[in-house]
Amino acid sequence: MEALPSLNPVRPQRRHSATIKGIVIVALILLLQIPLFWVGNLRLDRVRIHRQAVAAMTEERVQAMPVVQEYRMVERSLKYGVLVMALVFGAFFLFETLVDLRLHTVHYGLVGAALCLFYMALLALAEVMPPGWAYTGAAMASSLLIVLYSVAILRSHLRAGIMAGLLAVVHGVLFFVLRMENYALLAGTATLFAALGAIMYLTRNVEWSLQDSFGPRSPAPGAPAK
């Protein structure tokens, strides 16, 4: 006797579209510019308070007080906020694509929050220590949060180590760009070319049409059927 067909047909497993995920990531990057804008306004308020304090001082006290240039570093670093987030989020997206991970939008949001805290920490530390030390402390604190979180969401210490290396390179290049007044645009453009070239190389064999499919993956050509 033949078995009766199931009344509830099996629905194919729905996979996240790579295109939709990319759009969500771009939208999240734009949304995270709101806290960066708030940090920028906070920097302006601190500059205004500082100038008012200097204006109330005598000439001798002003000459004895070091000139605060740290706010300028915060201002310039905020201009590269979109680039930093795009590089870091792009790395997580590559992990999703290349090693078949599935990250939620919340994961990206928490990583973005840690990146936003970098600028907040930079502003806070810049008032109590030299620019180089302030930048190093803020970068290490933010990167540590992201790397420890990456161990869990990427499910591998090796992948988290790769993220640590990427964050070190990103913050190192950004610090180099911020220190270069005359060649900042050239250095930033070269960094973008290098990042785009790396993405092209790593994704050269990715079948994006399969990544956008909503059913199970098709077997590779020549692969035995299951």
Do residues 84 and 115 lie in contact, with contact meaning Cβ atoms separated by under 8 Å? yes
Give the pLDDT of residue 150.
93
Give yes or no for a contact between 119 and 36, defined as CB atoms under 8 angstroms apart.
yes
- Determine the Cα angle at 81 with ends 72 and 91, to 5°: 145
CA distances, 29 to each of 19, 86, 108 (Å): 16, 7, 9
User: What pLDDT sits at residue 69?
Assistant: 58
Tell me what pLDDT residue 155 has: 87
**3-class state of residue 67 by DSSP:** coil
What is the value of pTM for the model shown? 0.69
pLDDT digits (tens), the chain, 226 positions: 455 444 444 444 444 576 787 788 888 888 887 877 777 777 777 777 666 666 655 454 544 444 455 677 888 888 888 888 888 998 898 888 888 788 888 999 999 999 999 998 998 888 888 888 989 999 999 999 999 999 999 888 998 999 999 999 999 988 888 887 667 777 778 887 888 888 888 878 877 666 555 444 444 444 444 4
User: DSSP class of residue 221?
Assistant: T
Check residue 210 and give its pLDDT: 62
Alpha-carbon distance of 202 to 99, in angstroms, equals 12
CB atoms closer than 10 angstroms to residue 125: 20
The per-residue pLDDT for 56 is 58
| Cα angle 169-79-37, degrees, rounded to a multiple of 5 | 120
pLDDT at 223: 43
Alpha carbons 100 and 151: distance in angstroms, whole number:
16
Q: The tokens of 184 are what? A: 């900042």
